[in-house]
Amino acid sequence: MWLNLLLHIPKTTLESFPHALYVRLSKPLPPSSKVPSSLFVPQNFAKQKGTEMAPKLGTVLLLFFLVAGIPWAQSSEAENWATSKKFPKKTLTKLQFYFHDTVSGKNPSAIRVAQAAGTQKSPTSFGLLMMADDPLTKTADPNSELVGRAQGLYGSAGQQELGLIMAMNYGFTHGIYNGSSVSLLGKNPATHPVREMAIVGGTGLFRFARGYAIAHTHWFDANTGDAIVGYNVTVVH
């Protein structure tokens, strides 16, 4: 039998409870060898007959293995709430629409909600934060069919060059994508003719979405700041 019996309890305690043993599997004992009783049991227990010790040692070993198995059982029960399945076949979808960002007039679709002390003096409006609820349409014409809305925040994060950090939810209201959305997060260097930003998630038909959005300015009014931006979005979901 592969046993190594170690004593970890004071002798006075063992004398009161002669069956208190700590058992650990270590290396084999030759069948003919005799282990000194003083190594692992109190003196009065070692004096008992071998025929009486065998059943008691068997009981101790049984209790040890039962106790040792408790953590494994608890771990198995703790994982019962989670299940894993193979991910379904992925779909690649391409979307094209126009984003209408209006900051002027009596009913703007994007408004200033915060700014830094030096924003007014900054050539890039550094520190400016805008809240947007911009319509998305099929074509560049503001009166064309509405396909959704872009809602979220964008702020000026560049001091040397205009660079907008955008955190936007593009929610769709048209056709099979009604109720679905994609989430965009990234830097939009608005003065560049073409910009790329990341799609980091989605809902509805676009659950688990990841991809990218290519934006290009279709029209911009330097006096008011109003703009129409074309978007081509590619997502895997």
Q: How many residues does the chain have?
A: 237
Exposed e or buried b for every residue in 57-70, given b needs 16+ CB within 10 A?
Answer: beebeeeeeeeeee
What digits encode the pLDDT tens for the residues 183-230? 999 999 999 999 999 999 999 999 999 999 999 999 999 999 999 999
43 three-class SS:
helix
Write out the residue limits of the CATH 2.40.480.10 domain(s) in the chain. Answer: 92-236
Q: Quote the pTM value.
A: 0.66
Q: Please give the class, per CATH, of domain 92-236.
A: mainly beta
What digits encode the pLDDT tens for the residues 170-191? 999 999 999 999 999 999 999 9
Strands 22-28 and 146-156: unpaired
Strands (E), 75-145: 92-101, 110-114, 129-137
Q: In this structure, are residues 216 and 197 in contact, taking their beta carbons and an 8 Å threshold?
A: no
Q: Would you give the DSSP letter of residue 87?
A: P
Which of 198, 185, 118, 197 lies closest to 154, judged by CA?
A: 185
